[in-house]
Structure 1
Amino acid sequence: MIKQGYYEKEGNSNIEDIDTKTLFKIYKETRDITIREELIKRHLYIAEILSKKYANRGIEYDDIYQVACIGLIYAIDRYDLDKGYEFSSFATPTIIGEIKKYFRDKGWTIRVPRRIQELSKKINNSKVVLSQKLQRSPTVGDIAEYLNCTEEEVLEAMEASKVYTPQSLDLTYDSNNDDKDINLAELIGEDDIYFSKIENNDFVMKTMEKLNDMEKKVLVDRYFNKKTQVAIAKSLGISQMTVSRIEKRVIEKFRKELEKTLN
């Protein structure tokens, strides 16, 4: 159970009403499982964003997401608020590390029939034997005759074997323009936008904690639900001018928080 003193200190009766930083402080002292579960719930979006980054790479998204959630739990258990950095900055590399470890451990998840795997091994061995015997590179017909199988079966096995021979990212190619070699990782690399998304999400959530209920309502309806000031005013029973003033106040609060972050 969480110590009653924490609730009294914060003036809240529900765990959902306590800000995230305070929850981390409480969890550091108590290791309360209820606090841990609330912190996990609040930061699941990080696991979701990073899981999508590694989707469509041969492993099911749901499996990656589960691993990312485990990484998130590790990050929550290890996070030290007193060191001064944001939780997302600490959690992101921790989660990515777990995902990459899972990819390394699981390896290729595509499975071809055993007969093709066995035939692929025989083809590799036959290439060595036939190259020495024929004094040239063997053709598909040569291999098929040597293994007593059809050319179609040989081609099928050869194509399948390509899937299980991934190119290293450290592989280099000659450049046509200069003397420098080109690294494969440079050819397929792209700017990573996910880290900034996580930071932006954290910034919005952190700033929203400082808004009152009316300001939160206007912010969500205006910028997330895409409602007009007139529609918001009607739903709240206030004037459109009042909604406009609240919106300007919210924008000003976000601007000040951004300046603090940048400084």
Structure 2
Amino acid sequence: MDTPAPPDDYARERAAARAALVRLRRMPSDDPEYESLREHVIGEYMSYARYIAGKFRQRGEAQSDLEQVAYLGLVKAVDNFDPDYGAAFLTYATPMIAGEVRRHFRDTTWDVHVPRRVQENALAVRAAERELTQELGHPPSAAEIAKRLELSADEVAEAYEAGAAHHAASLDVPTAMSDGDGASLGDLLGDDDPGFELVVNREALKPLLAELSPRDKRILLMRFFRNMSQVQIAEELGVSQMQVSRLLSRILGDLRQGVEAER
């Protein structure tokens, strides 16, 4: 943890940092001293970047990760600051550093893809919930949050749902069983039942089968329900095995095309 400097020393340090920053911005980038002075200026303001990162520490991210993101925002602020614009450096750098941290939460900490608008609403709802809880002395209702943020009730509900998608549970997470044995979450999830597809196909076939001629129905009955070979079917119908093969190919082809046309 940084030890606070005495007020006079702090003021002198800040004045020296501002002077170095102004000198840096006036210096050509190809000057031999440019890189070393740039590193010095960034180092002088790193404690402030850590301070900004600390404001986001209760959002589930490691503080060290947030500080690295804040440092990136600081570097951008140092590289783009224009002392001629009239604003103090910290006035310029604060929203840039905080914005970099917010982008980190918005773009890299979501396990499931969520539209940017919904991400921003989810973060705003979470912050408003904390603020209103302190102000009201109890957790706020969705209507109170919607009023504070000027959102609709549906937008607040959508934000809560998106918040649940921020972090996904691993399928390898152990789950306690009633008998005491351990199992992973993945072990408890169901799998696709191939029977569902069979039901769909069977229902699609019913009207198509009803339209077949009596002979075609008889051929299908003998082949698929009585398990007769093509030779046996040919003997019963009084035709050749080759004719039976062609008839089956035609019937099945027509049924397949009919099912595909229904999808």
The answer to whether TM tops 0.5 is no
* Rg larger in structure: 2
TM-score, length of structure 1 as denominator length? 0.36
